[in-house]
């Protein structure tokens, strides 16, 4: 079978992440191909634990609104659903509600009244504790025990949704589905699965399309169309000037995936070991041979919380005497700063403070010793990081270290040098350190057990909660 | 004998979730790929040693269609946190560039 407009289910994926930029020229081109849905992902753990620990979006409100506005207009004029997964980066409840409020503002501006299904994926700690006690939570590799303290350390815990709650919302009449944390693939696979597409191609197409234009020759064009039919799927960029090739498409299975052949999803495993990637023409690729093996319904858990606080300083150093032996200078500086903190703040307080020095331009990135005989750098940026239980204590440490950090000579008895501070004040309160705590999956009795659905602008017969 | 950086057209590293780093070795053609794909220098034991990981957890995949060897291993520390130096693990491939291939084990 080929990509026959008649029997394929087409999902327009306008960009790899809501807020990263939708191109309206691409969107217009894609809408002319009569997609059955617009779907995209709005979140990830990719940028680190801060989004989940704080509930705040990686992308700004203005950027998310800028992307949602044309998507909602296109959705309304074609009367097709819009699905957004992992709202507000982390997909915790606050991030979903933040996105909902933007959607409602746009709807009012467009004079529209879409029926919105909101799917919440955040989990109560007591529920996770109970699941854990019942033996329904297990660690993924690398093994991390799940203790009550681990659960307590999380500010937010989310369970990654599968496609079933999306399908239920669409079947109940949703125009827009805004969901909490979801697997990147489930939000894109939902409509093809609902319309009866085989699971292997539906999930595989979703995996390829999840980062938008990253599976194309020119990822600066963010939009792609996935067309799933009974025999496979076709992936093509939305922009006429962009191309997908068998290599760009198959290589996407490598990206950010620890396993390029198998992908565990809620309710099964996608296996692309035997997938064939063929150029359909000079810009579209057809993929066949993707397999789906149903399995127990498990949802991945993500949890993050707050740790200590940091204050940073940066000096630039071009002094050849320092650069001749950076390691010796950094070691000397660290001893001087540690002594300064102990004397100024007392031993007991000093024990609660960690001072870290990272010489950018030398070995700050790896922290490993450079090869013996490495040539001196032309300059370094020496970053000072004080980590302490409170922001004020971290800043206190930076302030007492400031004169030493600014003026320490390479050896005793020399005139005091002054290094190059770029900022005044020299110290920057960087804020809290956030940490991921969960690397687990939870078994559920059904795809809906850990999901809550709320309707805004409800269809007949549903609970109105707007 | 060549170094890995000499026989690959591209090497990259990236976080794969908060707890793993994944490294893609794009060999410069089928000849290099077939010659070096199974070299012990990019086997689980050597990679575990290079990155301070547990060899039992290092995963290695040969992707014939792309002339790629993929290596996935646990990060030293979960992404983020006090000790973080490379949030997206984007520079973690650098030590591999100098790895010598073809050395007798």
Taking 70 as the threshold, does the pLDDT of residue A462 lie above it? no
Q: Which of B82, B93, B95, B98 to mutate to test the interface with A (most CBs of A within 10 A)?
A: B82
Cβ-based contacts of A255 with chain B (< 8 Å): 14
What's the whole-number mean pLDDT along residues A373-390? 97
Spatial CA neighbour of A190 closest among A350, A36, A20: A36
Spatial CA neighbour of A162 closest among A145, A147, A179: A179
Q: Looking at per-residue confidence, does B83 or A312 come out higher?
A: A312
Taking 70 as the threshold, does the pLDDT of residue B37 lie above it? yes
Question: pTM of whole model > 0.90?
Answer: yes
Q: CA A16 to CA A47: how far, in whole Å?
A: 14
Interface of B with A (CB under 8 A): 14-20, 22, 24, 54, 57, 59, 61, 63, 65-66, 68, 70, 72, 74, 78-82, 84-88, 91, 94-95
pLDDT in tens, A210-240: 999 999 999 999 999 999 999 999 999 999 9
Of B70, B85, B88, nearest to A367 by CB-CB distance is B85
How are beta strands A285-288 and A380-388 bridged, if at all?
unpaired
Taking 50 as the threshold, does the pLDDT of residue B78 lie above it? yes
Asked if residues A181 and A86 have their Cβ atoms less than 8 Å apart, the reply is yes
CA geometry: angle at A237 spanning A112 and A242, to 5°? 125
Give the gap in angstroms from C-alpha A367 to the nearest C-alpha of chain B: 8
Q: What is residue A466's predicted lDDT score, i.e. its pLDDT? A: 40
How are beta strands A224-229 and A232-237 bridged, if at all?
antiparallel
Quote the tokens at residue A462: 């549903």
What's the whole-number mean pLDDT along residues A181-204? 98
- pLDDT interval class at A458 (50, 70, 90): low
Of A255, A259, A436, nearest to B18 by CB-CB distance is A436
- pLDDT interval class at A464 (50, 70, 90): very low
Q: Do B80 and A254 touch (CB under 8 A)?
A: no
**Is A375 in the B-facing interface, judged by CB distances under 8 Å?**
no
Of B17, B70, B79, nearest to A260 by CB-CB distance is B70
Cβ-based contacts of A47 with chain B (< 8 Å): 87-88
Give the rounded percent of residues in chain A with a pLDDT score beyond 70.
97
Distances A445 to A267, A297, A422 between C-alpha atoms, Å: 11, 7, 57
pLDDT in tens, A58-79: 999 999 999 999 999 999 999 9
For B84, name the nearest residue in chain A, comparing CA atoms only. Answer: A365
Q: What is residue A2's predicted lDDT score, i.e. its pLDDT? A: 44
Q: What is residue A155's predicted lDDT score, i.e. its pLDDT? A: 98
Q: What is residue A6's predicted lDDT score, i.e. its pLDDT? A: 57
- pLDDT interval class at A460 (50, 70, 90): very low
Q: Looking at per-residue confidence, does A466 or A44 come out higher?
A: A44
What's the whole-number mean pLDDT along residues B15-43? 97
Q: Do A435 and B66 touch (CB under 8 A)?
A: no
Asked if residues A406 and A421 have their Cβ atoms less than 8 Å apart, the reply is yes
Q: CA A342 to CA A365: how far, in whole Å?
A: 28
Q: Tokens 């007798």 appear where?
A: B104
Taking 50 as the threshold, does the pLDDT of residue B2 lie above it? yes
**Is A369 in the B-facing interface, judged by CB distances under 8 Å?**
no
Q: CB neighbours of A397 closer than 8 A, spacing ≥ 6?
A: A311, A341, A345, A353, A355, A386, A388
Q: What is residue B104's predicted lDDT score, i.e. its pLDDT? A: 67
Quote the tokens at residue B24: 């893609």
Q: CA A211 to CA A215: how far, in whole Å?
A: 7
Taking 80 as the threshold, does the pLDDT of residue A463 lie above it? no
Asked if residues B96 and B36 have their Cβ atoms less than 8 Å apart, the reply is no
Q: Tokens 């067309």 appear where?
A: A227
Taking 60 as the threshold, does the pLDDT of residue A250 lie above it? yes
What's the whole-number mean pLDDT along residues B3-21? 97
Exposed/middle/buried for A329, CB within 10 Å: 0-12, 13-18, 19+?
Answer: buried
Spatial CA neighbour of A441 closest among A140, A182, A226: A140
Q: CB neighbours of A295 closer than 8 A, spacing ≥ 6?
A: A264, A267, A268, A269
What's the whole-number mean pLDDT along residues A436-464? 85
Phi, psi of A457, deg, nearest 5: 70, 65
Element (H, E) at B74: strand B68-74
Question: In the sheet where A37-43 sits, what is the strand order?
Answer: A276-279, A285-288, A232-237, A224-229, A9-13, A37-43, A82-89, A176-179, A116-120, A452-456
Cβ-based contacts of A387 with chain B (< 8 Å): 82
Asked if residues A14 and A40 have their Cβ atoms less than 8 Å apart, the reply is yes
Q: What is residue A279's predicted lDDT score, i.e. its pLDDT? A: 98
3-class DSSP assignment, residue A263:
strand
What's the whole-number mean pLDDT along residues B57-71? 97
Helix then strand then coil, in percent of chain B rounded to 5, is 30, 30, 40
Query: Is it true that the peptide bond before A8 is cis, omega within 30 degrees of 0?
Result: no
**Count of positions (residues) in chain B:** 105
Taking 80 as the threshold, does the pLDDT of residue A407 lie above it? yes
**Is A308 in the B-facing interface, judged by CB distances under 8 Å?**
yes
3-state secondary structure string across A300-367? EEEEEEEEEEEEEEEEEECCHHHHCCHHHHHHHHHHHHHHHHHHHHCHHHHCCCEEEEEEECCCCCCC
Cβ-based contacts of A46 with chain B (< 8 Å): 15, 88
- pLDDT interval class at A143 (50, 70, 90): confident
Q: Do B80 and A433 touch (CB under 8 A)?
A: yes
Cβ-based contacts of A275 with chain B (< 8 Å): none
Taking 80 as the threshold, does the pLDDT of residue A5 lie above it? no
- pLDDT interval class at B84 (50, 70, 90): very high
Phi, psi of A280, deg, nearest 5: -85, -40
Q: CA A435 to CA A41: how far, in whole Å?
A: 23
pLDDT in tens, A166-177: 999 999 999 999
Q: CA A410 to CA A328: how far, in whole Å?
A: 9
Strand pairing partners for A11?
A37, A226
- On average, the pLDDT of chain A sits at 95
Q: CA A218 to CA A214: how far, in whole Å?
A: 8
Give the gap in angstroms from C-alpha B14 to the nearest C-alpha of chain A: 6
Q: What is the interface pTM, i.e. ipTM, of the complex?
A: 0.94
Exposed/middle/buried for A422, CB within 10 Å: 0-12, 13-18, 19+?
Answer: exposed
Give the gap in angstroms from C-alpha A215 to the nearest C-alpha of chain B: 14
Cβ-based contacts of A436 with chain B (< 8 Å): 18-19, 78-80
Q: Do B16 and A257 touch (CB under 8 A)?
A: yes
Of A50, A251, A256, nearest to B16 by CB-CB distance is A256
Element (H, E) at B62: strand B59-63
Taking 70 as the threshold, does the pLDDT of residue A1 lie above it? no
């Amino acid at each position: 079978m080929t990509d026959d407009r008649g029997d394929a289910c087409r999902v327009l994926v306008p960009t790899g992440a809501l807020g990263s930029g939708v191109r309206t020229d691409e969107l217009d081109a894609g809408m002319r191909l009569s997609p059955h849905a617009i779907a995209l992902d709005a979140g990830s753990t990719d940028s680190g634990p801060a989004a989940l620990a704080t509930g705040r979006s990686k992308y700004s409100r203005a950027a998310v609104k800028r992307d949602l506005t044309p998507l909602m207009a296109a959705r309304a004029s074609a009367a097709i659903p819009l699905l957004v997964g992992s709202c507000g980066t982390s997909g915790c409840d606050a991030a979903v509600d933040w996105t909902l409020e933007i959607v409602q503002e746009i709807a009012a501006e467009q004079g529209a009244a879409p029926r919105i299904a909101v799917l919440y994926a955040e989990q109560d700690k007591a529920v996770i504790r109970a699941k854990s006690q019942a033996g329904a939570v297990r660690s993924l590799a690398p093994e991390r025990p799940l203790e009550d303290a681990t659960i307590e350390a999380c500010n937010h815990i989310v369970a990654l949704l599968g496609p079933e709650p999306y399908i239920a919302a669409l079947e109940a009449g949703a125009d827009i589905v805004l969901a909490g944390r979801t697997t990147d693939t489930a939000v894109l696979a939902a409509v093809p699965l609902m319309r009866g597409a085989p699971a292997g191609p539906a999930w595989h197409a979703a995996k390829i399309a999840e980062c938008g234009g990253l599976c194309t020759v020119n990822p600066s064009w963010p939009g792609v169309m996935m067309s799933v039919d009974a025999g496979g799927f076709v992936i093509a960029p939305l922009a006429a000037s962009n191309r997908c090739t068998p290599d760009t498409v198959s290589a996407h299975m490598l990206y950010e995936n620890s396993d390029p052949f198998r992908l565990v999803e809620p309710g099964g495993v996608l296996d692309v070991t035997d997938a064939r990637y063929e150029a359909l023409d000079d810009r579209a690729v057809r993929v066949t041979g993707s397999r789906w093996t149903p399995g127990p319904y498990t949802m991945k858990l993500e949890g993050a919380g707050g740790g200590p606080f940091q204050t940073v300083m940066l000096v630039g150093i071009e002094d050849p005497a320092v650069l001749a032996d950076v390691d010796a200078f950094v070691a000397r500086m660290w001893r001087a700063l540690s002594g300064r903190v102990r004397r100024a703040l007392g031993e007991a307080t000093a024990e609660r403070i960690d001072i870290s020095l990272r010489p950018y331009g030398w070995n700050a990135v790896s922290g490993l010793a450079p090869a013996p005989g490495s040539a001196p750098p032309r300059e370094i940026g020496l970053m000072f990081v004080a980590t302490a239980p409170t922001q004020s204590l971290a800043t206190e440490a930076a302030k007492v270290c400031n004169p030493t950090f600014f003026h320490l000579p390479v050896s005793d008895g020399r005139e005091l040098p002054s290094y190059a501070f770029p900022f005044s004040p020299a110290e920057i309160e960087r804020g809290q350190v956030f940490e991921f705590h969960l690397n687990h999956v939870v078994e559920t009795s059904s795809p809906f057990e850990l999901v809550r659905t709320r309707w805004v602008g409800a269809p007949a017969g549903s609970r109105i909660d707007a | 004998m060549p170094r890995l950086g000499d026989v690959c057209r591209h090497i990259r590293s990236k976080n794969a979730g908060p707890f793993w780093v994944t490294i893609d070795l794009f060999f410069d053609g089928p000849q290099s790929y077939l010659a070096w794909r199974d070299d012990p220098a990019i086997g689980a034991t050597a990679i575990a040693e290079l990155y301070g990981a547990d060899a039992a957890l290092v995963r290695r995949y040969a992707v014939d269609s792309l002339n790629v060897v993929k290596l996935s291993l646990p990060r030293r520390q979960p992404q983020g946190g006090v000790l973080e130096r490379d949030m997206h693990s984007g520079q973690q491939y650098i030590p591999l560039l100098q790895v010598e291939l073809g050395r007798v084990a």
